[in-house]
Chains A and B, each alone.
Chain A
Amino acid sequence: MTDANASILERAAETAARATPAPVAARVRGLSDKAVAWLFIGPTMLLLLAINIFPLIWAIYLSFTNYRANRPNEPIKGVGLSNYRRILGDHDTWLAMQATAHFVFWTILLQMLIGFALAYLIDRKFRGHAFGTTIILVPMMLSPAVVGNFWRFLYQPQIGLFTYIVSFFTGIPPTEIDMLSSVTLAPWAIIIVDTWMWTPYVMLICLAGLRSIPDYIYEAAEVDRASNWRQFWSITLPMALPFIMLAVLFRGIENFKMFDMVNLLTGGGPGSTTEVASITLKREAFEKWRTGFSSAFAIILFVAVFGLANIYVKVLNRVKSR
């Protein structure tokens, strides 16, 4: 910058400073650090309150009413705990919770087993392992909408690639492998897709865990002539366990509120076989328009996830501190 330019800028700054009304300047200068900090975080806090806390409080309020969003002209009446009682005593709600539990249990189990195995494999660096890792990561980079739609085609009994592969190995005619229409197969169809999509994510977390184990521990074990099996059980698994548990937590929370994939693949069917809690919630809220009832259901689900996650985090911390 030339001297001439610098002096122009200095003069401009001086003019701007003179133009600022004195009281404002004094006020700004007089602010404490704490006040400045609040000025910076204030808008974010307000935004959070508006988009997170207020809706939550509003939903809690609505859960004690008979409000229906499709009847704006009807007076809102308080119904006490009636919505909660109805939900907890409703057979269909419990069926939805069972479907959710089945989905969560099997997806987590499969994703942990396969994800850890893949991480263990990739941790032993082999030729082309970087390329292999990239390929494995592709499914989790796709949109659930895309995944749901193309798996629907893969499962198609007449033209689906998946059905033809299964048919090739089992000899069962493809038209009889109806993954999305069969009461027995439909829950597994969704579990397979979720496992395919999210195992790479678990693998990444497990890989981070495996890479965090210092080499000298293995070296010491080898000096002590510990077998590979022994090293795995006594070093690898215990030291990677907090990471595995973290993956379980993330996937558990995500799958408890699973909606998109199930909606795209089966829409909760056949019948109500794959109707997980979030599908029931959507039906109550936006198809039956029972806003008060669905708010109560949402609060119950929130408390369940929040409570379970808290217990789990406490266990996780205990494991980490060992």
Chain B
Amino acid sequence: MGTAQQADTGNSRTSAQASTRPQAGTSAGVLRAATVGPDEAVQLLDEHGAIHHDATFSPYIEKLDPEVVRGFYRDMAIVRRFDTEATALQRQGELALWVPVIGQEAAQIGSGRAMNKADYAFPTYREHGVALTRGLDLADLLKLFRGISNGGWDPRETNFHLYTLVLAAQTLHAVGYAMGISRDLAADPTTEPAAVVAYFGDGSSSEGDVHESMVFAASYDAPVVFFCQNNNWAISVPFEVQSKVPLVNRAAGYGIPGVRVDGNDVLAVYAVTRWALEHARDGHGPVFIEASTYRVGAHTTADDPTKYRMSAEEELWKTRDPLDRLETYLRAAGLADEAFFEQVTNDGDELAAHVRRATLAMGGADIRQKFATVYAQAHPLVAEELAWFENYEASFAEENTENSQTQGGAA
């Protein structure tokens, strides 16, 4: 069932890894297959909640503490609740726009939880689930959508970069950051090994920057994992317009190992990403993961999917829901009881309430802070324009004072 592929690069590092790493070619993910079919993907937990074995990837989940697996469910449920709250905030006029993540929770929680603290994530603008795994206060994500900041958090605190709205631009930043890790390791071998995850989607896979990022990553053996969430829709454009083949098939053209994974199976996503990150961190170069998933909601709150896709398709994907299948598994395996699920619901509501409170308390933005951050060093034009602005603003203050004095006198 599962299929993966690995390009035979003739790279001695690639063959050397075989001795210390899960043997390629022995798993359901046939790592040396040239191509994968459209329905083939690594799957460890099917839509009915049944576990499947994979020689390469199962070992990554077999030893997991049940608490960790329950944590996957909790994360996914909480992000879904957060997503609902953010959508509501947008509908109530508190956000200019929202980008729903519903349906993609497994792809994001699985990949995010596979990362180490020292690893670094470069998200698109929909990685709310990854943000949760990196320890962000999710309310910070809303600053961008409330028009308060074009960032909203300090990426250095969580190793979670700012959202990037220009499609695929961040894939190059991710590769550069990974090249920087390699440079640091070369200069100082005591540097903590780390890898980078470059998030992008099926739509942005058509961007030239994805191509260039893979060329650079392959050429310099950059420790980066390209994590593509193929959610089947780029706003209104179906996947078939982006590619005639599964995206993972492109990896071989760059000499990069590629794995296609069921993106709604959090266990498989976790295992595959963990494998890929180890591969990258151990100095074997980049990996390309295509996570097959579905954008259940609209592209953004400004979008209307009824104009371009059939509800039958949406219904089909609802049967593959990432939360339902893990819940079925947890209950059947006796790993979680009703109290657990109630607690998760309560935790989600609590987070949602926090996010709502924090959003409404955010206040406005200060244009002076915008003047102050155009450049890192003093800049005469910015200083001149700020001085003009302050005078201009002060002129209103004087006017107001005069007006109030006049009114006061009249009273």
A binds B: no
